[in-house]
Amino acid sequence: MRVALQNDISAGVFSKTLLDIGNGKIPVHSSTGLISFPTSFCQFTTSKEELISKVFPNIDTNYKNYAWLSERAILAATNKDVNDLNIKIQSQINGQIHSFKSIDSIIDPNEVGSYPPEFLNSLDLPGLPPHYLQLKVGSVIIMLRNLNQPKLCNGTKLAVKRIMNNLIEATIIIGKFKGEDVLISRIPLMPTDFAIQFKRVQFPVRLAFAMSINKSQGQSLEEISSLLQIKIKGKPWPKEGPGRQ
Protein backbone atom coordinates (compact mmCIF):
# COMPACT_ATOMS: atom_id res chain seq x y z
CA MET A 1 0.00 0.00 0.00
CA ARG A 2 1.36 3.42 -0.94
CA VAL A 3 0.36 6.22 1.43
CA ALA A 4 0.56 9.90 0.55
CA LEU A 5 -1.35 12.09 2.99
CA GLN A 6 -0.93 15.75 2.19
CA ASN A 7 0.00 18.01 5.10
CA ASP A 8 0.08 15.05 7.48
CA ILE A 9 3.46 14.58 9.18
CA SER A 10 2.38 11.17 10.48
CA ALA A 11 2.16 9.77 6.93
CA GLY A 12 5.85 8.84 6.93
CA VAL A 13 5.54 6.96 10.21
CA PHE A 14 2.44 5.16 8.96
CA SER A 15 4.10 4.14 5.68
CA LYS A 16 7.23 2.88 7.41
CA THR A 17 5.24 0.85 9.93
CA LEU A 18 3.25 -0.77 7.13
CA LEU A 19 6.49 -1.81 5.46
CA ASP A 20 7.89 -3.11 8.75
CA ILE A 21 4.76 -5.24 9.29
CA GLY A 22 4.98 -6.64 5.76
CA ASN A 23 8.68 -7.39 6.16
CA GLY A 24 8.22 -9.13 9.51
CA LYS A 25 10.16 -6.53 11.50
CA ILE A 26 7.50 -6.01 14.17
CA PRO A 27 8.18 -8.31 17.17
CA VAL A 28 5.79 -11.23 17.60
CA HIS A 29 4.70 -12.22 21.11
CA SER A 30 5.95 -15.74 21.76
CA SER A 31 2.94 -16.71 23.89
CA THR A 32 0.19 -15.54 21.53
CA GLY A 33 1.84 -15.33 18.12
CA LEU A 34 0.38 -11.81 17.76
CA ILE A 35 1.92 -8.37 17.27
CA SER A 36 1.24 -5.06 18.99
CA PHE A 37 0.93 -1.97 16.82
CA PRO A 38 2.89 1.12 17.91
CA THR A 39 0.58 3.74 19.38
CA SER A 40 1.69 6.23 16.72
CA PHE A 41 0.67 3.91 13.87
CA CYS A 42 -3.00 4.83 13.59
CA GLN A 43 -6.24 5.41 15.44
CA PHE A 44 -8.17 2.29 16.35
CA THR A 45 -11.88 1.57 16.46
CA THR A 46 -13.59 -1.26 18.30
CA SER A 47 -16.33 -2.03 15.77
CA LYS A 48 -17.53 -1.42 12.22
CA GLU A 49 -20.22 0.87 13.58
CA GLU A 50 -17.65 3.10 15.29
CA LEU A 51 -15.52 3.12 12.14
CA ILE A 52 -18.54 4.21 10.06
CA SER A 53 -19.45 6.98 12.51
CA LYS A 54 -15.91 8.40 12.33
CA VAL A 55 -15.72 8.47 8.54
CA PHE A 56 -19.38 9.27 7.79
CA PRO A 57 -20.65 11.27 10.80
CA ASN A 58 -24.32 12.30 10.59
CA ILE A 59 -24.64 10.82 7.12
CA ASP A 60 -28.42 10.98 7.39
CA THR A 61 -28.12 14.74 6.77
CA ASN A 62 -24.64 15.10 5.24
CA TYR A 63 -25.33 12.78 2.28
CA LYS A 64 -26.77 15.75 0.37
CA ASN A 65 -23.35 17.45 0.45
CA TYR A 66 -21.58 16.02 -2.59
CA ALA A 67 -18.24 17.65 -1.76
CA TRP A 68 -18.38 15.99 1.68
CA LEU A 69 -19.26 12.62 0.14
CA SER A 70 -16.51 12.76 -2.47
CA GLU A 71 -13.64 13.14 -0.01
CA ARG A 72 -14.22 10.11 2.26
CA ALA A 73 -14.29 6.34 2.04
CA ILE A 74 -13.57 3.18 3.99
CA LEU A 75 -11.20 0.64 2.45
CA ALA A 76 -11.34 -3.10 3.07
CA ALA A 77 -9.40 -6.08 1.77
CA THR A 78 -12.33 -8.38 0.94
CA ASN A 79 -15.52 -7.93 -1.05
CA LYS A 80 -17.49 -9.41 1.84
CA ASP A 81 -16.37 -6.64 4.19
CA VAL A 82 -16.92 -4.00 1.49
CA ASN A 83 -20.48 -5.20 0.87
CA ASP A 84 -21.26 -5.40 4.59
CA LEU A 85 -20.01 -1.86 5.21
CA ASN A 86 -21.88 -0.43 2.21
CA ILE A 87 -25.16 -1.95 3.33
CA LYS A 88 -24.71 -0.64 6.89
CA ILE A 89 -23.89 2.88 5.69
CA GLN A 90 -26.68 3.05 3.11
CA SER A 91 -29.21 1.95 5.73
CA GLN A 92 -28.53 5.21 7.63
CA ILE A 93 -29.84 7.29 4.72
CA ASN A 94 -33.55 8.00 4.87
CA GLY A 95 -35.69 7.15 1.89
CA GLN A 96 -37.01 4.26 -0.15
CA ILE A 97 -34.68 1.47 -1.15
CA HIS A 98 -34.87 0.38 -4.80
CA SER A 99 -33.93 -3.19 -5.73
CA PHE A 100 -32.78 -4.44 -9.13
CA LYS A 101 -32.11 -8.08 -10.05
CA SER A 102 -29.81 -8.87 -12.93
CA ILE A 103 -30.56 -11.21 -15.82
CA ASP A 104 -27.79 -13.83 -15.97
CA SER A 105 -27.28 -16.28 -18.82
CA ILE A 106 -24.63 -18.66 -20.17
CA ILE A 107 -23.07 -17.56 -23.45
CA ASP A 108 -22.42 -21.05 -24.84
CA PRO A 109 -25.82 -22.69 -25.50
CA ASN A 110 -24.25 -26.13 -25.01
CA GLU A 111 -23.44 -25.25 -21.38
CA VAL A 112 -26.85 -23.87 -20.39
CA GLY A 113 -27.91 -27.06 -18.60
CA SER A 114 -24.72 -27.14 -16.51
CA TYR A 115 -25.18 -23.73 -14.89
CA PRO A 116 -28.73 -22.87 -13.75
CA PRO A 117 -29.68 -19.20 -13.32
CA GLU A 118 -29.70 -19.58 -9.52
CA PHE A 119 -26.01 -20.50 -9.58
CA LEU A 120 -25.13 -17.58 -11.87
CA ASN A 121 -27.12 -15.22 -9.64
CA SER A 122 -24.98 -16.28 -6.66
CA LEU A 123 -21.70 -15.22 -8.29
CA ASP A 124 -20.22 -12.01 -6.91
CA LEU A 125 -17.11 -11.27 -8.96
CA PRO A 126 -14.70 -8.32 -8.99
CA GLY A 127 -15.55 -5.90 -11.78
CA LEU A 128 -19.16 -7.04 -12.02
CA PRO A 129 -22.21 -5.47 -10.36
CA PRO A 130 -24.08 -7.69 -7.90
CA HIS A 131 -27.04 -9.72 -9.03
CA TYR A 132 -29.17 -8.05 -6.37
CA LEU A 133 -28.42 -4.34 -6.47
CA GLN A 134 -30.04 -2.12 -3.82
CA LEU A 135 -29.82 1.67 -4.03
CA LYS A 136 -31.20 4.78 -2.37
CA VAL A 137 -31.27 8.38 -3.54
CA GLY A 138 -28.10 9.90 -2.08
CA SER A 139 -26.03 6.72 -2.17
CA VAL A 140 -22.47 6.86 -3.48
CA ILE A 141 -21.81 4.53 -6.42
CA ILE A 142 -18.79 3.77 -8.60
CA MET A 143 -18.76 2.93 -12.30
CA LEU A 144 -17.51 -0.52 -13.29
CA ARG A 145 -17.28 0.05 -17.05
CA ASN A 146 -16.37 2.79 -19.53
CA LEU A 147 -19.62 4.16 -20.92
CA ASN A 148 -18.75 7.61 -22.17
CA GLN A 149 -15.06 8.46 -21.83
CA PRO A 150 -13.66 10.59 -20.35
CA LYS A 151 -16.82 11.73 -18.53
CA LEU A 152 -18.25 8.38 -17.48
CA CYS A 153 -15.62 5.68 -17.14
CA ASN A 154 -14.51 2.85 -14.89
CA GLY A 155 -13.77 4.30 -11.44
CA THR A 156 -15.97 7.40 -11.69
CA LYS A 157 -17.74 8.10 -8.39
CA LEU A 158 -21.28 9.45 -8.43
CA ALA A 159 -24.16 10.22 -6.08
CA VAL A 160 -27.56 8.80 -6.97
CA LYS A 161 -30.00 11.63 -7.73
CA ARG A 162 -33.06 9.82 -9.09
CA ILE A 163 -33.98 6.17 -9.58
CA MET A 164 -36.30 4.92 -12.31
CA ASN A 165 -37.24 1.44 -13.46
CA ASN A 166 -34.64 1.30 -16.21
CA LEU A 167 -32.46 4.33 -15.58
CA ILE A 168 -30.38 5.83 -12.78
CA GLU A 169 -29.80 9.57 -12.80
CA ALA A 170 -26.64 10.43 -10.90
CA THR A 171 -24.30 13.36 -10.29
CA ILE A 172 -20.56 12.98 -10.85
CA ILE A 173 -18.78 13.92 -7.60
CA ILE A 174 -15.10 13.64 -8.54
CA GLY A 175 -12.83 14.74 -11.34
CA LYS A 176 -13.07 17.23 -14.16
CA PHE A 177 -16.78 16.67 -14.74
CA LYS A 178 -17.95 16.79 -11.12
CA GLY A 179 -21.36 18.39 -10.73
CA GLU A 180 -22.64 17.09 -14.06
CA ASP A 181 -25.71 14.85 -14.16
CA VAL A 182 -25.66 11.64 -16.20
CA LEU A 183 -28.03 8.79 -17.01
CA ILE A 184 -26.98 5.18 -16.49
CA SER A 185 -28.84 2.26 -18.05
CA ARG A 186 -28.57 -1.49 -17.75
CA ILE A 187 -26.01 -3.06 -20.04
CA PRO A 188 -24.69 -6.60 -20.69
CA LEU A 189 -21.44 -7.31 -18.83
CA MET A 190 -19.16 -10.33 -19.10
CA PRO A 191 -16.30 -11.28 -16.75
CA THR A 192 -12.94 -11.36 -18.51
CA ASP A 193 -10.98 -13.76 -16.30
CA PHE A 194 -13.52 -16.26 -15.02
CA ALA A 195 -13.73 -19.90 -16.03
CA ILE A 196 -17.46 -19.75 -16.77
CA GLN A 197 -18.41 -17.52 -19.70
CA PHE A 198 -21.69 -15.85 -18.82
CA LYS A 199 -23.47 -12.55 -19.33
CA ARG A 200 -25.01 -10.34 -16.67
CA VAL A 201 -27.44 -7.59 -17.64
CA GLN A 202 -27.40 -5.02 -14.85
CA PHE A 203 -26.58 -1.39 -14.05
CA PRO A 204 -22.73 -1.24 -14.23
CA VAL A 205 -22.31 0.20 -10.74
CA ARG A 206 -21.62 -0.77 -7.14
CA LEU A 207 -22.09 1.05 -3.86
CA ALA A 208 -18.91 2.94 -2.99
CA PHE A 209 -19.11 4.28 0.56
CA ALA A 210 -16.63 1.47 1.12
CA MET A 211 -14.31 0.12 -1.56
CA SER A 212 -11.79 -2.61 -1.98
CA ILE A 213 -8.17 -1.51 -1.69
CA ASN A 214 -7.62 -2.39 -5.36
CA LYS A 215 -10.64 -0.37 -6.51
CA SER A 216 -9.46 2.68 -4.56
CA GLN A 217 -6.30 3.03 -6.66
CA GLY A 218 -6.21 6.42 -8.33
CA GLN A 219 -8.80 7.93 -5.98
CA SER A 220 -8.07 11.21 -4.13
CA LEU A 221 -9.53 11.18 -0.62
CA GLU A 222 -9.28 13.50 2.36
CA GLU A 223 -10.89 11.27 5.00
CA ILE A 224 -10.00 7.61 4.73
CA SER A 225 -10.08 4.65 7.08
CA SER A 226 -9.46 0.98 6.58
CA LEU A 227 -10.86 -2.25 7.93
CA LEU A 228 -7.89 -4.58 8.25
CA GLN A 229 -7.58 -8.18 9.29
CA ILE A 230 -3.97 -9.18 9.84
CA LYS A 231 -2.68 -12.72 10.26
CA ILE A 232 0.51 -13.55 12.12
CA LYS A 233 1.44 -17.24 12.21
CA GLY A 234 -2.06 -18.14 11.08
CA LYS A 235 -3.79 -16.23 13.89
CA PRO A 236 -6.03 -13.27 12.99
CA TRP A 237 -5.74 -9.97 14.84
CA PRO A 238 -7.80 -7.90 15.31
CA LYS A 239 -11.20 -9.21 14.27
CA GLU A 240 -12.40 -5.70 13.43
CA GLY A 241 -10.25 -2.60 12.89
CA PRO A 242 -8.04 -0.72 12.85
CA GLY A 243 -9.31 2.56 11.44
CA ARG A 244 -6.78 4.95 9.98
CA GLN A 245 -7.98 8.56 10.19
Domain extents in the chain: 61-220
The pLDDT score that the predictor gives to residue 225 is 52
The pLDDT score that the predictor gives to residue 7 is 56
pLDDT at 176 over 70: yes
- Write out pLDDT tens, residues 123-164: 999 889 999 999 999 999 999 999 988 899 999 999 999 999
Mean of pLDDT values over 230-237: 41
The pLDDT score that the predictor gives to residue 224 is 53
pLDDT at 223 over 80: no
pLDDT at 188 over 90: yes
Residue of higher predicted confidence among 4 and 99: 99
Q: What is the DSSP string of the chain?
A: -----TT-TTHHHHHHHHHHHHTT-S-B-TTT--B---TTS----SSHHHHHHHHSTTHHHHTT-HHHHHTEEEEESSHHHHHHHHHHHHTTS-S--EEEE-EEEESSGGGGGGS-HHHHHH---TTS--SEEEE-TT-EEEE-S-SBTTTB-TT-EEEEEEE-SSEEEEEE-SSTTTT-EEEEE-EEE--SS-SS-EEEEE-SEEE-SEEETTTTTT---SEEEEE--EEETTEEE-SS-----
Count the Cβ atoms, other than its own, within 10 Å of residue 99: 8
The single-letter code of the amino acid at 105 is S
Q: In whole angstroms, what is the distance from residue 243 CA to residue 20 CA?
A: 18
Mean of pLDDT values over 184-210: 94
First to last CA, the chain: 16
Q: What is the pTM of this model?
A: 0.78
- Write out pLDDT tens, residues 80-100: 889 999 999 999 999 999 999
The pLDDT score that the predictor gives to residue 26 is 84
pLDDT at 42 over 90: no
- Write out pLDDT tens, residues 54-78: 899 999 999 999 999 988 888 887 8
The pLDDT score that the predictor gives to residue 56 is 93
The pLDDT score that the predictor gives to residue 160 is 97
pLDDT at 229 over 90: no
- Mean pLDDT, the chain, rounded, equals 83
The pLDDT score that the predictor gives to residue 230 is 39
